[in-house]
Amino acid sequence: MAKKKETIGTGKARTSAAGQKKMPRVQKKDALGIVECRGITAAIEAADSMVKTANVEVIGSQKIGNALIYTAVIGEVDAVREAVKAGSETAQRLGELYAAHVMTRPDDTIFEIIEIISR
């Protein structure tokens, strides 16, 4: 039997017909922030600093290959900007920051893409 990937999210995880966990559906927010870094310690600490710094919600986090891990948050624009800045600084301090970006008013399809990637 194939090993199931675990994803990090908020709320209750949904289960697909095949029994795989899915990310919970998210409500549309004003902004989406993504921090991508190398190393699990840097990723966990970056996510922790993001949610402690601003009123944001983690909607996805997963290893995407070559020790790179992304963490995505949603919230109000200023809160997401503040969270991504804090997460980026933490990731740089503990590991290697690969990318950080804030998208204002993301289209609903972006959340579908994040859900697919997080499987």
Give 44-73 pLDDT, tens digit per residue. Answer: 999 999 999 999 999 989 998 888 999 999
Query: Which pLDDT score is estimated for 16?
Result: 45
What's the pLDDT tens digit per position in 80-104? 999 999 999 999 999 899 999 999 9
User: What is this structure's pTM?
Assistant: 0.75
**Other CB atoms within 10 A of residue 55 CB:** 12
CATH number (3.20.20.240, 3.30.70.1710, 3.40.50.10140, 1.10.287.70) of 28-117 reads: 3.30.70.1710
Does residue 19 have a pLDDT over 80?
Answer: no
- For the chain, the domains span 28-117
Say how many CA atoms lie within 13 Å of 22 toward its Cβ.
14
